[in-house]
Amino acid sequence: MLDRLGFPQPWLSALLFVTWQFLSEGVSGASIVMGLVLAMVIPQITHGFWPERPAFVKAWKMPAYLLIVLKDIVAASFSVARLILSPRPPRPVFVCYPLQLEHPLAISILASTISLTPGTVSADVSDDQTLLLIHALDAESDQEIIDAIHQRYEKRLMEMFQ
Amino acid sequence: MNPFAEYLIAALLLLGGAFSLIGALGLARLPDFFTRLHGPTKATTLGVGAIVVSSVLYFSSLGEGIGISEILITVFLFLTAPVSANMLAKAAMHIGVKTTDDTRGNPWEQ
């Protein structure tokens, strides 16, 4: 039914609507109308970029995941800061990370997480979406990074999406 | 204003400023493009984060309600920072930017 009303992505529409209410100073008639228009138009314009409906199976695990990421951002920021200030040169490395996730949205969440946590940037995804190229600022070995990402993030994302 | 809140806000502002400064230093000190990418996208994330949190605390301790717009700024920052870092890295790989000699592994070609 939501499809016929012009909401092909109900969750995206809801998110846009709520965000618009926060952005406009206080909820009013005008902000509700504008929010509804945005919630209808933006998902339809961007429709081609969404390959399929996001298959969030266990969305309630997301807040715990975000907390872990936030904690890692803080902890790892300190280690990057220490590295920048220390005279020792960094040991940069390109790592090919074998992806076990299959869902495109899950892969992009993982790639964003990797880029946000200091010390690693995800540079590219292979065309068949099985490898992620990661640049790490300072690492002993490739395996160390692969294990850390798999244990901390990918496992949790796999639980959410499969 | 509550003195405790005041100290907390001051500490957060100092922390945020320090991290932004370290991010800028990283831009100057790190050896090649890919390592420099880490400074501004990361240390700065926490820098801006700390400043935004102190802003939220300041306005809520004045009793003007919690600053939703600051939280939205953080959300948008966290959404866009990885995308721009990814775009920069992709563009650098595309035009074949040189890496330092002690970089292990290679960016792939495709």
Contact B82 A112 (CB under 8 A): yes
Percentage of chain B exceeding pLDDT 70: 80
Cα B102 to Cα A94, A137, B34, B105, distances in angstroms:
11, 12, 13, 10
How far is it, in rounded angstroms, from Cα B56 to Cα A106? 31
* Mean model confidence pLDDT for chain A: 79
The answer to the question of residue B100 being in a domain is no
pLDDT at A21: 84
Cα A134 to Cα A50, A59, A110, A114, B36, distances in angstroms:
24, 27, 11, 8, 15
User: Which of B21, B32, B33, B42 is the best substitution to test chain A (most A C-beta atoms within 10 A)?
Assistant: B42
As a whole number of Å, the end-to-end CA separation of chain B is 59
The answer to the question of residue B101 being in a domain is no
The answer to the question of residue B80 being in a domain is yes
Contact A84 B22 (CB under 8 A): yes
Task: Return the CATH fold of A59-161.
Answer: Alpha-Beta Plaits (3.30.70)
For residue B54, the enclosing domain spans 3-95
Cα A97 to Cα A108, A115, A142, distances in angstroms:
14, 13, 9
Task: Say whether the ipTM exceeds 0.90.
Answer: no
Token pair belonging to B60: 């809520």
Tens-binned pLDDT, residue by residue, of chain B (110 aa): 778 888 999 999 999 998 888 888 888 887 788 888 777 666 677 888 888 888 888 888 777 666 677 778 887 887 787 788 888 888 888 887 777 766 666 666 54
Residue B2 CA to its chain's centroid (Å): 29
The answer to the question of residue B30 being in a domain is yes
Residues spanned by CATH 3.30.70 within chain A? 59-161
Distance from CA of B75 to the nearest CA of A (A): 11
The answer to the question of residue B102 being in a domain is no
pTM of the model: 0.75
The total number of structural domains in chain B stands at 1
